[in-house]
Structure 1
Amino acid sequence: MTCCLNPDCQQPQNADDVEFCLSCGTKLTVLLRGRYRVMRPIGQGGFGRTYLALDDDRLKARCVIKQFSPQIQGTKSLEKAVKLFEQEAVRLYELGEHPQIPALLAYFEHDKRLYLVQQFIEGNTLLQELSQNGVFIEQRIREVLAGILPILKFVHDHQVIHRDITPSNIIRRKFDNKLVLIDFGVAKLLSVEASNQPGTKIGTEGYAPIEQLRSGKAYPASDIYSLGATCLFLMTQVKPEDLYDPLEGRWLWRERLREKGRAISEPIAQILDKMLKDLVSERYPSAAAVMKDLRTALSSPPLVASSIGGAMRSSGVANASSPSSSASRSANRSPVSQPSVGQPSVGQPNLSRPNVSQPGANQVHAAGALPSKPPVSRAPVSKAPLSRQPVSGSQQWHCLHTLTGHSRWVTAVAISADGSTIASGGLDDSIKVWDRSTGELLRTLTGHHKPINCLSISPDGQTLVSGSDDDTVRLWHLASGNLLRSLTGHTRDVSSVVISTDGQLLASGSEDRTVRLWNLATGEMLRAFSGLAGMVRSVALSPNGQFLVSGGLDNQIKLWSLKTNEPVRTLPNGHFNSVNAVVIAPDGKTLVSASKDKTIKVWDLTAGAVVRNLAGHMDSVNAIAMSGDGKFLASGSSDTTIRLWNLETGTLSGSLTEHISAVNAVALTADGKFLVSGSSDSKVKVWQLG
């Protein structure tokens, strides 16, 4: 069957041999984007339809495609709707590959509509479980809390508030019985400004707290409220708004349970009561705070209904939800004797592009504490502990310096061709310039008012180029720190900058889905390459000045001719997740790409084919750097490691393991003897070979 993509079509299913929809006459798309075979609609809302599809490039794996085609009147309303849809793509990407959050697979435009492709989660929502099996007993409520709270901690730690936690947005995944949190379409970045300023009044009635519905403000405590309301509905099968007495200002859920001859242990009841306080200040401030109390509560057994007179007794086994059928009892039986609550059992989050839209100084942690301002004086330098032995493999590297001047994640590093000077930038909105040999902080460059995403130093060591969330590219005199000029033209975050080997051209890639080419000496924009389907994550220029390469959120790598300004080809059979980094070898014949799919690919540019795959990272590969002879590669990953590769053989030469959080950026000197890395542990490390 071929599914019609017209969101207004009433009968979208068509036979495979039909060219135009038999119902509405729309021309049918057999393979969306040349790879996604749309099977059938599975949902519809104000913004368009959601479809079940098969990905032909991934062995026909099932995926979910969200189509954006809003039925909204007015320019402002439409712009807001577009922003919300794009926001879901960004949020899913930023939250990385947490095993209990659907992964973003692609985001693109087709036939004047936007599409978002994400991982398909097979299973029932908690609302479906409630409908099929009846109300949740206490044991299952404990499992919901123990399953969702670590996910919320992960989300809040990434400065995001979900804002729509309901039984419909929690799925119990079929293959492992774990709970998965879905639908980040109304998620909101957490910052001082965002949480205290009026925003969009959005959320589901009954589950959204008063501050969210009344003024659009949202906090981590807002999600905690929604989770508490979800638990009430699962226990009572009564809408949360019908469980609250506005005249007395109190919840009635305990009375409803007693009416049905059921109860809940006092420790769990007190946790739910605190989660559901009207005042934000009286609720738990963070998921971690709830988890702390939940650990204590789980040490006591849940209450279940006694078979004698409906009295309540404590039991370590949850064997009944109510005097219901055996099927209901079986469905409510816990798959484990007792849920455990702890830190999220996942690797380091993907921080290849930790996009924070507000200035770093305004960011807050989940508990609400403001990070300290970065020091502007000389930063301390610490030597790597000799006993740590962070290097494995034949290439013997050691940590020369650990530079600790940044107050937040380091997301960009660069090193001059002669290896004498290092630049670093991050979420504290600052650029720091260091002396490589001593580790001394030479100066701090300020001017960008949002996080720094990328840095590059010209071959002559004179000019430093930076790209930022503030949509600008800035050129600095490296020796003095003076701002030379600001380049404007991009309309979204600038995610990548690269300077040609002759020092004449500068290329910049942006989330506005364009790549721009500039004259480095004059700042003149020479041309813009547009028409890209996804946000650009990385750009590279061939040493011979013939090609420009881009990789991005659409999982694709594109080659452009600098002579004709036309696209040359899109590399086939590539990555199945976002392309985070691309680099071209000095001979101009080899391309290396790194992806969120945890792999590195080596390409023959002439043939447009993969020569070899470099596998070994356990999480997103965020950055790569190549030596001047094209024989050596360093890669940084969200798995906290740096891996060192022999490109001639494709073998792993060694691993550096001193960072304690995601490695977001790496840079190499031309001779391959010095390596610089930047991490979400807020540190810059300088490594030396030998």
Structure 2
Amino acid sequence: MTTVSLFETDASIEKREKREVKKANKFGNPIVLKSKVLAVVNDPASPSSSVLVAEAAGKVRRVNIETSSVTKTYQGPTNPVCCVAVGGRRNDVVYAGSWDKCIWSWDLATGQPKHKFIGHSDFVKSLVCTRLGDTDILVSGGSDKKIMVWDAGTGARLHTIQDPTTTMLAIQHLAVDPVLSTPEAVVVASASSDPHIRRWRISKDSYEQLPEIDPSLHGAERLTIQEHETSVYKLVFEEGNNEDGDLWTASADGTAKCLSRARHFTTEDEYAHGDYLRAVVPTDAWVVTAGRDEDVKVWDRSSGNLHCALEGHYDEITDLVLLPDPRGTHHRVCSVSIDGTIRTWPLMKEQLDNLVEEIKTIQSKPAGEEKETNGTNGAGMLTAEEEAELAELMDDD
């Protein structure tokens, strides 16, 4: 028995050993980075084949999925980067929220630093970019329980928002409502480490919290939307063919839900993933979920049944993003993880089913037959103290 095993439970040892075995797999064509990956967004210059990722090593990297190469590294923070967004008039500015309580920004093409936004008193955990009139706006949410609205061009803070009537905990995610937002006022939904989803109408000069009709109380208004039992980690307003702009959610209660706008954001569909959920991606045919149990699960949207579970990651999955096919037929989904890898999965049914069979075939081979490894183990560049901080960040309930 090694020294470290003396301080581990049997369950911890078993979990570690399983992960050591899983590290050898190549499912999802892993791109191995130098540290834990905490968030991912599409690269606006090439959304179907390139992404931007936030790393625990304090970097944002631009990664080409097709060539498995890092094409640009954005440097500045010395602490983990929790979230990343792209904005600006030409979608040419990268923004990153960090453990150091700051928001960093760079020119997308050159990597040259731009404004540094200072105001939060704890981790910056979510960012969204939008416009108000002719002004580029950045909205940030942090572990300090605050939402801040910034003039992205000047770095000036326009608003600091907190829920005045209820206890709003650490902000986990922000999303812009594409249906209710106008050039004069943007509507942003916020999720936090409590079960409540809040909505805010924001203009340059003011903001207000939006109520919603509560069908269970005969049309009375409610200030928050509560369809989950605990923390909500992800918000996605559906666009494209869904003109209603329904709201999709992923929660620590282990479920992803579609909240119907027509039904005042009450649950229309529910998918029971079974463990802490970090991300959800809806398409016309599928709903894709991922989180702490390391699997990417693909659900048949028409029936609500689980179509398959894609095994490949060997630590918690932190985020998903759809890689859209310009023709609209061959979408893929990209997943990122604490294991330090980016993986890409097909969403065409035939390709998906072939991949599932391939995974089953390889997994059925005798132990030791598959010796291939991924090289860098993606364990990250954190000290034991920072590892504990990261665990606190990921489970900020």
State the TM-score, normalized to the length of structure 2: 0.69
> Does structure 2 conserve the Cα–Cα contact (< 8 Å) formed by 1:404 and 1:682?
yes
Which residue number in structure 2 is paired with residue 413 of structure 1? 40
Deviations 1:578-600 (A, max 9, x none): 11111112246311111111111
Q: Which moved more, 1:420-429 or 1:574-583?
A: 420-429
Percent identity among equivalent residues?
A: 21
User: What does residue 516 of structure 1 align with?
Assistant: 148
Alignment partners' CA distance in 2, 1:579 and 1:457: 23
In 2: Cα distance, 1:602 partner to 1:347 partner: 32
Deviation at 1:471, TM superposition (A): 0.7
Deviations 1:166-206 (A, max 9, x none): xxxxxxxxxxxxxxxxxxxxxxxxxxxxxxxxxxxxxxxxx
CA deviations 1:267-309 (Å, max 9, x no partner) are xxxxxxxxxxxxxxxxx964x2356xxxxxxxxxxxxxxxxxx
Shift of 1:666: 1.2
Offset of residue 480 of structure 1: 1.5
Instruction: Output one character per residue of 1:593-643: Cα deviation in whole Å (capped at 9) or x when no partner.
Output: 11111111211235131112111x23100123345xx76543221000112
Q: Quick one: structure 1 residues 573 and 421, their matched pair in 2 at CA, closer, same or farther if it must change by over 3 Å? A: closer
The change in CA–CA distance for 1:631 and 1:461 in structure 2 (over 3 A counts) is farther
The question of 1:658 aligning with 2:326 is answered: no
Mapped to 2, the partners of 1:685 and 1:442 lie a distance apart of 17
The amino acid across from 1:661 in the alignment is D
Q: Give yes or no for contact 1:665–1:678 (8 Å, CA) kept in 2.
A: yes
Cα displacement string for residues 66-107 of structure 1 (whole angstroms, at most 9, x for unaligned residues): xxxxxxxxxxxxxxxxxxxxxxxxxxxxxxxxxxxxxxxxxx
Q: In 2 relative to 1, CA 557–475 (structure 1 residues): closer, same or farther, beyond 3 Å?
A: same
Deviations 1:630-672 (A, max 9, x none): 7654322100011234556544444321111110111113447
The yes-or-no answer on 1:489 pairing with 2:119 is yes
Structure 1: distance between partners of 2:3 and 2:13:
22
Check the 8 A contact 2:43/2:62 in 1, yes or no. no
Which residue, out of 234, 248, 255, partners 1:599?
255
How far apart, in 2, do the equivalents of 1:383 and 1:422 lie? 24
Whether the aligned pair in 1 keeps the contact of 2:120 and 2:142 (CA below 8 Å) is yes
1:583 aligns with 2:212: no
> Which residue of the partner structure matches residue 291 of structure 2?
637
Hey, what's the Cα distance between the residues in 2 that align with 1:653 and 1:525? 46
Aligned partners of 1:642 and 1:674: how far apart in 2?
Answer: 12
Name the CA distance, whole Å, in 2 between partners of 1:685 and 1:507. 29
Distance 2:333 2:97 in 1: 21
1:342 lines up with 2:59 in the alignment: no
Give, in whole Å, the separation in 1 of the partners of 2:131 and 2:287: 18
Greater helix share, structure number: 1
Output the CA distance in 1 between the equivalents of 2:252 and 2:339: 20
Query: Which residue is 1:608 aligned to?
Result: 265
1:437 — aligned with what? 66
Structure 2 SS opposite 1:344:
helix
- Aligned equivalents of 2:36, 2:198: Cα separation in 1: 29
Distance 1:413 1:687 in 2: 15
Distance 2:130 2:15 in 1: 36
Query: What count of residue pairs does the alignment treat as equivalent?
Result: 308
Q: Establish whether residue 687 from structure 1 lines up as the match of residue 345 from structure 2.
A: yes
Larger Cα-atom Rg = 1
* Amino acid in structure 2 at the alignment position of 1:560: W
1:534–1:576 Cα change, 3 Å: same
Closer, same or farther: CA 659–290 of 1 in aligned 2, 3 Å = closer
Deviation at 1:568, TM superposition (A): 1.4
CA gap of 1:483–1:419, structure 2 versus 1, over 3 A, is farther
Residues 108-153 of structure 1 deviation map (CA, whole Å, 9 limit, x = unaligned)? xxxxxxxxxxxxxxxxxxxxxxxxxxxxxxxxxxxxxxxxxxxxxx
Note closer, same or farther for the CA distance 1:610–1:470 as it changes in structure 2 (3 Å cut): same
Matched, 1:507 2:120: no
Contact kept? 1:571, 1:609, Cα under 8 Å: no
SS at match of 1:343: helix
Let me know the Cα RMSD of the aligned residues: 3.1
Tell me: CA distance 1:588–1:514, structure 2 relative to 1, closer, same or farther (3 Å).
Answer: farther
Q: Distance in 1 between matches of 2:11 and 2:68?
A: 35
User: What are the ranges of 5 or more consecutive residues in structure 1 without an aligned counterpart?
Assistant: 1-283, 292-340, 349-381, 391-398
- Letter of the 1:566 partner, please give it: E
Structure 1 residues 588 and 524, CA gap change in structure 2 (3 angstroms): farther
Check conservation: 1:625, 1:635, Cα contact below 8 A: yes
User: Is 1:476 aligned to residue 133 of structure 2?
Assistant: no
Q: What SS does the corresponding residue of 1:500 show, helix, strand or coil?
A: strand
Report the CA distance shift for 1:572/1:462 in structure 2 as closer, same or farther (over 3 A).
closer
> Which of 403, 410, 426 matches 2:31?
403
1:289 lines up with 2:6 in the alignment: yes
Q: Deviations over 1:511-549 (max 9, x none)?
A: 111112223344333322213521111111111424211
Matched residue SS, 2:121:
coil
CA shift, 1:468, in A, is 1.0
Question: What does the per-residue CA deviation read over 1:396-422, in whole Å, with 9 as the maximum and x for residues that have no partner?
Answer: xxx3x421122x321111222432422
Q: Which has the higher strand share?
A: 2
In the alignment, which residue of structure 2 is the partner of 1:541?
176
| Counterpart contact for 1:571–1:608, Cα < 8 Å | no
